[in-house]
Homo-oligomer: A and B are copies of this chain.
């Protein structure tokens, strides 16, 4: 209902959910669900989902009234939240989300863009040749947009931003004083789908990309939007060239990410973190504040606050260097 970008096709009744998922839900009246959200963002009108015991602590605090989950996980939910038992939680989540936000699944190019010269932006922006602007775009004052750049639909850009040339942005909030350099792709759907022998089943991506104040995003970066939550870069965080940030990743403020780093889906990176060139962070990890990850490292488990790691698998840097003299 409150989604900033994707057209809302809700609400949806619990009866309808039951029918779509072919599952029995024990209800007395036909309640309406207004939205589907992750455990921490859900409110009492929302449906949420719990698919792994990795999220059991968050589950205990959810405010959602209904939750797609399994027999094994249902007891982590608070009494205020009714479990809807399904065989595959993520597929069920995907089915319901696709019903509420059907146009969040596919990323067709935006066929409704106009040349910036045909829009009102031509008066208050410095822009290059062949700049294209989609519907539902807002751009603040004192911004630059380079040649051949495409701001597709659903983009809010703050003041004093500099967007380079040949860059594509969609479904994103760009705050003030952000620089995005050349050849980037920001806000496309993430690499998330259910493998299937005939045709992989894409799942919806209703998250957006948020790039906070004073960030810099290097050339050739790709930052995918989230599936059920947002992808977010904290303020004054700088990314070098050819960095890849997958869906649902969150990076804290004042972090420094060197060239060719890749961060896999749903990992949470703290503030003041330094990541050296070509390092890779696996999915669903938590990297603490002030962590320092040496270039080339492959991080496959959580890194505590104030810790330096190196190697593949990454370990305490002193230990790594002692073993590799």
Show the binding face of A for B, using Cβ within 8 Å. 106-109, 111, 113, 115, 126, 128-130, 132, 144-148, 150, 162, 164-166, 168, 177, 181-183, 185, 188, 191, 193, 195-200, 214, 216, 218-220, 222, 224, 236, 238, 240-242, 244, 246, 254, 256, 258-260, 262, 264, 276-278, 280, 282, 295-296, 298, 300, 311-313, 315, 324
**CA distance in complex: A259, B281 (Å):** 11
User: Roughly how many angstroms separate A276 CA and B300 CA in the complex, as a whole number?
Assistant: 12
Q: Is the CB–CB distance between B128 and A109 below 8 Å? A: yes
17 CB-based A-B contacts, threshold 8 Å: A109-B147, A109-B164, A111-B126, A150-B165, A150-B166, A166-B168, A181-B188, A185-B241, A188-B219, A191-B259, A196-B236, A198-B214, A244-B259, A258-B264, A262-B278, A296-B300, A311-B312
B162, B188, B200, B298: the one contacting A278 at CB < 8 Å is B298
Q: Which residue of B lies closest to A197 (CB)?
A: B254
Q: How far is the CB of A169 from chain B (nearest CB, A)?
A: 11
The answer to whether B298 and A236 touch across the interface, beta carbons within 8 angstroms, is no
The reply to whether B109 and A146 contact each other, CB–CB distance below 8 Å, is yes
Across the interface, A264 reaches (CB within 8 A) one of B113, B218, B259, namely B259
Specify which chain B residues have a CB less than 8 angstroms from the CB of A148 in the assembled complex: 130, 148, 150, 166
- Give the nearest-CB partner of A164 in chain B: B109
Whether A109 contacts B144 by the Cβ 8 Å rule is: yes
- In the complex, what residues of B have CB within 8 A of residue A181's CB? 107, 185, 188
Chain B residues with CB below 8 A from A109, complex form: 128, 144-147, 162, 164-165
Q: Are A238 and B193 in contact (CB under 8 A)?
A: yes
Contact of A128 among B111, B238, B241 (CB under 8 A): B111
